[in-house]
Amino acid sequence: MDPSWKISEITRATLTFEQYQWATGSVLEDPFYSVEESSVSAPAGTLIKVERNTNTSLYSLPPGTALSRIVYQSKNFNGSLVPVSAYILWPHSPRSAPDGYQVVAFSHGTSGIAPNCAPSHIKNLWQHYLAPFNLALQGYVVVATDYAGLGVSKNAHGEPIVHEYVASPSHANDVFYSVEAAQTAFPELSKSFVVLGHSQGGGSAWAAAQRQAIEPVPGYLGAVAVSPVTTIIDPAMAGPTLSAFGFLTAAGMENIFQGFDRSDILTPDGVQKLGVVQETNGCSSTVVSLIINSDPTRPNWTEDVFAQKFQNLTKNGGKEIGGPLLVIHGDADPILNISLTTAAVEETAAKFPASQIEYLRLPGISHNAALTSSQWQWMDWIAKRFEGIPQEPGLRNTESKVAMPVSAYQKEVNWWLAPATIFYETP
């Protein structure tokens, strides 16, 4: 990076804010997030490391929940073996199926592209009461992958692991193999499981359904994709979102495609800023602080041959799915336009009429609020899967009924969860 390039005070502040949320210090210095060379050839799904009883006092968790962490073997987009970390959030009294405690695999929304952006080392597990905490409080054992490149930063050869942002098939691998490894570590877990994901993780959940059609996994009961990423390039996409996709996918595309360079789609300033993210290990807040008032992508970057190839290989929709899929999206989402999801749902249903798809639209609801406003609906849907209630083939379109005027509802998350440090800060 050019030494004359200065980090702004805002970016320094965001880095400090992000570091305050670390539960265990930098993953680069935490021995848990390292792997031995002996694991280099372990098959995907192999449990590499388990921390059965993680120190919950380091985290901001709901009372009555426990935490474990694991490292396991997965596969990246090109099929290479890669170690990945995950957390397991335990309810006090888990729901039980005939084969063990019921498992929901949670696939998280964008936290960043650097190793320190792993939810397993963030005090509130990144999406806290938006989903994982509530799943555990409702009795589900939550198995949550960090994704390859977040958490474990180097492979067994000591080579850096690049996070392949929104390469949904890669994330789907991480989801399935995290469940397999968790079941090995804890045989009391059920073989049956449901996948739930939001945003980046919503794309991952949808990709899990597509993966299930070609590589079936026993015990898979279905997936819930909330505010999902379906495509990275589309005229309906808001300009800032399109630019952010170009910025965040550049490093991953270098890892996937020989001959691609980040400078093919990023401006010189964008290349510098991506370097800052990678050198500082900054996460989503840092990324926003760097690109919010500028466009780091080149004009017409979406026409780049590798960007188009990445789009075609990773898109969701228009592909066969295995098992039932619930798709949820708010029609006031400023980040991922609902029209993109609608098109993906309709294309899938048209090409594969027997697909079991339920599409729930949420009037007046934004990106993150899609998780909270529809919580009872996706909770009920998950419960039905474990109860063995079948979902009818075909597309079922539904829309939430709103009790109050849309304008009366809180639109965005305007708070963050942090630990109390003085006795009077707790109830």
Q: Which H/E stretch holds residue 344?
A: helix 338-351
Q: Retrieve residue 345's tokens.
A: 């749902």
Distance CA 270, CA 284 (A): 16
Helix (H, G, I), strand (E, B) or coil at 382: helix
**How far, in Å, CA of 264 to CA of 62, rounded?**
45
Work out whether the CA dihedral 390, 396, 397, 402 comes out positive or negative. negative
- C-alpha 168/C-alpha 133 separation (Å) is 24
* DSSP H stretches of helix in 158-294: 168-185, 200-214, 239-256, 268-280, 284-291
Report whether 72 contacts 46 (CB < 8 A): yes
Domains of the chain are 39-230+315-408 (3.40.50.1820)
Q: Per-residue pLDDT tens, the chain, 427 aa: give them.
A: 554 457 889 999 999 999 999 999 999 999 999 999 999 999 999 999 999 999 999 999 999 999 999 999 999 999 999 999 999 999 999 999 999 999 999 999 999 999 999 999 999 999 999 999 999 999 999 999 999 999 999 999 999 999 999 999 999 999 999 999 999 999 999 999 999 999 999 999 999 999 999 999 999 999 999 999 999 999 999 999 999 999 999 999 999 999 999 999 999 999 999 999 999 999 999 999 999 989 999 999 999 999 999 999 999 999 999 999 999 999 999 999 999 999 999 999 999 999 999 999 999 999 999 999 999 999 999 999 999 999 999 999 999 999 999 999 999 999 988 888 888 887 7
pLDDT in the model for residue 332: 97
In one-letter notation, the amino acid at residue 299 is P
Q: What pLDDT is stored for residue 3 in this prediction?
A: 47
- Confidence (pLDDT) at 2: 56
Quick one: CA torsion of 186, 94, 67, 128, rounded to 10 degrees?
Answer: 130
One-letter identity of residue 23: A
Question: What whole-number distance in Å separates Cα of residue 129 and Cα of residue 413?
Answer: 11
What is the pTM for the complete model shown?
0.97
Helices 284-291 and 9-20: angle between axes, nearest 10 degrees? 170
- Residue 254 near residue 266, CB atoms below 8 Å: no
